[in-house]
Amino acid sequence: MVWPRSFGLSNACGLLLRRGRCEGSRISRNLKIAWGSLGVSIVVLAMKAGAYWVTGSVALYSDALETVINVVASVGALVALWFAEQPADANHPYV
Q: Tell me: the pLDDT tens digits for 13-24?
A: 554 444 444 444
What pLDDT is stored for residue 27 in this prediction?
75
Instruction: Give the separation between CA 93 and CA 77, rounded to whole angstroms.
Output: 22
> 58-84 vs 29-55: helix axis angle to the nearest 10?
170
Higher pLDDT, 88 or 38: 38
Instruction: Give the separation between CA 76 and CA 38, rounded to whole angstroms.
Output: 10
pTM, 2 dp: 0.65
Domain boundaries, the chain: 24-84
What pLDDT is stored for residue 28 in this prediction?
85
Average pLDDT, the chain: 79
